[in-house]
Structure 1
Amino acid sequence: MRTAIALLVVGCSAPVTAPAPAAGPRPVEAPAPAAQPPPPPPPPVHARPSYPHARTGDVTDTFHGTAVADPYRWLEDMGSPEVGQWVRDENALTDSYLGALPGREALQRRIAELVSYEAFRAPTRRGPRYFWVHGDGKHNQPTVWTAAALDAAPSLVLDPNAISTDGSLAFAGLSIGHSGKRLAYGLSIGGGDWQTWRLRDVATTRDLPDELAHIKYYRPELTRDATGVYYSRFPPPPPGKELTETDHDCKIYFHKVGTPAGRDTVVYERPDHPTWQFEPIVTRDDRYLVIITGDGQVGDRGVELVSYLDLQRPGSKPVALIDQYDAEYRFLGNDGPVFYFVTTLGAANKRVIAIDIRRPARERWQEVIAEGPNAIQGASLVGHQLIITTLQDAHHAVAAYDLHGKKLRDVELPGIGSAPGFGGGPDDKETFYTFAGFTMPGAVYRYDLATGTSTPWKSPQVAFDPSSFETTQVFFPGKDGTKVPMFITAKKGLPHDGGNPTILTAYGFGGISSTPRFDAARVAWLERGGVYALVNIRGGGEYGEAWHLAARREHRQVAYDDFLAAGDWLVANKITSPPHLGATGASGGGMLVAGALMQRPDLFGAVLPHAGVHDLLRFQLFGQGAGWQGDLGTIENPAEFAALRATSPLHNVRAGTHYPAVLLTTADHDVRVAPLHSYKLAAALQAAQAGAAPILLRVETASGHGGGTTRTQAIDQQSERYAFFAAQLGLKLE
Structure 2
Amino acid sequence: MSGVDESVTDPYLWLEEVADERCLDWARARNDVVVDRFASSPRFTETQRRILDMLDTDAKIAYPGRRGSWLYNFWRDADHPRGLWRRTTFEEYAKDAPDWDVLIDLDALATAEDENWVWGGAGVLRPAQNRAMISLSRGGADAKVVREFDLETRRFIEQADGGYFLPEAKSQLSWIDIDNVYVGTDFGAGSLTDSGYPRIAKRWRRGAPLADAVTVYEGAAGDVAISAGYDRTPGHERHFVGRATDFFNEELYLLESDGALIRVDTPTDAGTSWYKDWLTIRLKSDWEVAGRTYPAGALLVADLKEFLDGARDFEVLFTPDEHTSLHGYGWTENHLLLITLQDVQTKLSVLTPGVDGWTRAPLADSPSMATTSVLNLDPLEGGDEFMLSTSGFTTPGTLLAGSVGGATTRLKQEPGFFDADGIETEQFFARSEDGTMVPYFVIRHRDHRDTPRPTVMSGYGGFEVSRTPAYSGASGIGWLEQGGTWVTTNIRGGGEYGPQWHTSAQKANRHKVYEDFAAIARDLVARGITTPEQLGAVGGSNGGLLMGVMLTRYPELFGAIVCQVPLLDMRRYHLLLAGASWMAEYGDPDNPTEWEYISKYSPYQNVRADAKYPPILLTTSTRDDRVHPGHARKMAALLESQGHRVWYHENIEGGHGGAADNKQSAFQAALIYEFFSELLR
Does TM-score exceed 0.5, indicating one fold? Answer: yes
Q: Give SS of 1:720's match.
A: helix
Identity in percent: 27
Cα offset, 1:213, TM superposition? 2.6
Matched, 1:319 2:272: no
Q: Give SS of 1:420's match.
A: strand
Cα offset, 1:542, TM superposition? 0.9
State the match for 2:80 in structure 1: 139
1:176 to 117, 124, 138: 124
Rounded to whole Å, the distance in 2 between the matches of 1:93 and 1:293 is 46
Matched, 1:308 2:254: yes
Rounded to whole Å, the distance in 2 between the matches of 1:101 and 1:515 is 33
Cα offset, 1:328, TM superposition? 2.0
Instruction: Determine if contact 1:611/1:667 at 8 Å carries over to the other structure.
Output: yes
2:241 to 286, 291, 294: 291
Describe the shift of the 1:316–1:550 C-alpha distance in structure 2 as closer, same or farther (beyond 3 A).
closer
Whichever residue aligns with residue 698 of structure 1, its letter is H
State the match for 1:88 in structure 2: 28
Rounded to whole Å, the distance in 2 between the matches of 1:217 and 1:454 is 40
How high is the TM-score relative to the length of structure 1?
0.82
Cα offset, 1:624, TM superposition? 1.3
Cα offset, 1:137, TM superposition? 6.0
State the match for 2:448 in structure 1: 494
State the match for 1:14 in structure 2: none
Q: Deviations over 1:58-102 (max 9, x none)?
A: 99854xxxx666333333333445434323333233233334456
Deviation >6 Å, runs of 4+: 215-218
Rounded to whole Å, the distance in 2 between the matches of 1:135 and 1:433 is 22
Q: Give SS of 1:354's match.
A: strand
Rounded to whole Å, the distance in 2 between the matches of 1:79 and 1:409 is 54
Q: Give SS of 1:178's match.
A: coil
Instruction: Determine if contact 2:195/2:224 at 8 Å carries over to the other structure.
Output: no
Instruction: Determine if contact 2:272/2:279 at 8 Å carries over to the other structure.
Output: no
How high is the TM-score relative to the length of structure 2?
0.88
Instruction: Determine if contact 1:196/1:211 at 8 Å carries over to the other structure.
Output: no
Describe the shift of the 1:481–1:274 C-alpha distance in structure 2 as closer, same or farther (beyond 3 A).
closer
Describe the shift of the 1:378–1:727 C-alpha distance in structure 2 as closer, same or farther (beyond 3 A).
same
Alignment of 1:355-374 (within 5 A): 355-357=303-305, 359-361=307-309, 363-373=311-321, 374=324
Q: Give SS of 1:88's match.
A: helix
Instruction: Determine if contact 1:551/1:559 at 8 Å carries over to the other structure.
Output: yes
Deviates more, 1:470-479 or 1:67-76: 67-76
Cα offset, 1:361, TM superposition? 4.9
Alignment of 1:318-397 (within 5 A): 318-322=261-265, 325=268, 327-331=269-273, 333-335=274-276, 337-344=277-284, 345=287, 346-357=294-305, 359-361=307-309, 363-373=311-321, 374-397=324-347
Alignment of 1:263-274 (within 5 A): 263-270=212-219, 272-274=220-222
Q: List gaps (5 residues or longer) in structure 1.
A: 1-55
Q: Give SS of 2:81's match.
A: coil
Instruction: Determine if contact 1:356/1:365 at 8 Å carries over to the other structure.
Output: no
Matched, 1:633 2:587: yes
Whichever residue aligns with residue 443 of structure 1, its letter is T
State the match for 2:469 in structure 1: 516
Q: Give SS of 1:705's match.
A: helix
Alignment root-mean-square deviation, CA: 2.9
Deviates more, 1:171-180 or 1:480-489: 171-180
Matched, 1:407 2:360: yes
Q: Give SS of 2:483's match.
A: coil
1:562 to 491, 516, 520: 516
Instruction: Determine if contact 1:505/1:583 at 8 Å carries over to the other structure.
Output: yes
State the match for 1:724 in structure 2: 675
Rounded to whole Å, the distance in 2 between the matches of 1:526 and 1:259 is 57
Rounded to whole Å, the distance in 2 between the matches of 1:196 and 1:586 is 26
State the match for 1:151 in structure 2: 92
Instruction: Determine if contact 2:171/2:197 at 8 Å carries over to the other structure.
Output: no
State the match for 1:44 in structure 2: none
Which structure dedicates a bigger proportion of its chain to helix? 2
State the match for 1:230 in structure 2: 182
Whichever residue aligns with residue 339 of structure 1, its letter is L
Q: Give SS of 1:582's match.
A: strand
Whichever residue aligns with residue 87 of structure 1, its letter is A
Q: Give SS of 1:305's match.
A: strand
Q: Give SS of 1:521's match.
A: helix
Whichever residue aligns with residue 230 of structure 2, its letter is V
Q: Which has the higher contact order (CA 8 A, sep 6+)?
A: 1
Rounded to whole Å, the distance in 2 between the matches of 1:638 and 1:318 is 37
State the match for 1:16 in structure 2: none
Matched, 1:458 2:412: yes
Q: Deviations over 1:138-161 (max 9, x none)?
A: 531443332344337442223323
Describe the shift of the 1:504–1:182 C-alpha distance in structure 2 as closer, same or farther (beyond 3 A).
same
Q: Deviations over 1:473-502 (max 9, x none)?
A: 11121122211100111233224322x221
Whichever residue aligns with residue 253 of structure 1, its letter is K
Whichever residue aligns with residue 27 of structure 2, its letter is V
2:140 to 176, 191, 200: 191
Describe the shift of the 1:127–1:463 C-alpha distance in structure 2 as closer, same or farther (beyond 3 A).
closer
Cα offset, 1:362, TM superposition? 5.2
Rounded to whole Å, the distance in 1 between the matches of 2:567 and 2:358 is 41
Instruction: Determine if contact 2:224/2:581 at 8 Å carries over to the other structure.
Output: no
Instruction: Determine if contact 1:61/1:69 at 8 Å carries over to the other structure.
Output: no
Rounded to whole Å, the distance in 2 between the matches of 1:256 and 1:274 is 28
Q: Deviations over 1:30-57 (max 9, x none)?
A: xxxxxxxxxxxxxxxxxxxxxxxxxx9x
Aligned length: 649
State the match for 2:653 in structure 1: 702
Matched, 1:433 2:388: yes
Instruction: Determine if contact 2:3/2:606 at 8 Å carries over to the other structure.
Output: no
1:108 to 45, 48, 54: 48
Q: Deviations over 1:589-632 (max 9, x none)?
A: 00001111111212211111111110111111111111211111
Instruction: Determine if contact 2:320/2:498 at 8 Å carries over to the other structure.
Output: no
Cα offset, 1:538, TM superposition? 1.0
Whichever residue aligns with residue 271 of structure 2, its letter is Y
State the match for 2:13 in structure 1: 73
Instruction: Determine if contact 2:653/2:659 at 8 Å carries over to the other structure.
Output: yes
Cα offset, 1:729, TM superposition? 1.2
Rounded to whole Å, the distance in 2 between the matches of 1:708 and 1:518 is 20
Instruction: Determine if contact 2:195/2:581 at 8 Å carries over to the other structure.
Output: no
Q: Give SS of 1:488's match.
A: strand
Q: Deviations over 1:543-571 (max 9, x none)?
A: 12221122211111111111111111112
2:502 to 548, 551, 555: 548
Rounded to whole Å, the distance in 2 between the matches of 1:684 and 1:154 is 51
Rounded to whole Å, the distance in 1 between the matches of 2:364 and 2:187 is 44
Q: Deviations over 1:413-470 (max 9, x none)?
A: 244322334332245231223222222333222121232x322222223433444422
Whichever residue aligns with residue 134 of structure 2, its letter is Y
Whichever residue aligns with residue 496 of structure 1, its letter is D
Describe the shift of the 1:294–1:381 C-alpha distance in structure 2 as closer, same or farther (beyond 3 A).
same
Alignment of 1:567-716 (within 5 A): 567-689=521-643, 694-716=645-667
Describe the shift of the 1:168–1:479 C-alpha distance in structure 2 as closer, same or farther (beyond 3 A).
same
Rounded to whole Å, the distance in 2 between the matches of 1:303 and 1:527 is 44
Whichever residue aligns with residue 392 of structure 1, its letter is Q
Rounded to whole Å, the distance in 2 between the matches of 1:289 and 1:465 is 52
Deviates more, 1:226-235 or 1:477-486: 226-235
Whichever residue aligns with residue 88 of structure 1, its letter is R
Cα offset, 1:105, TM superposition? 1.3
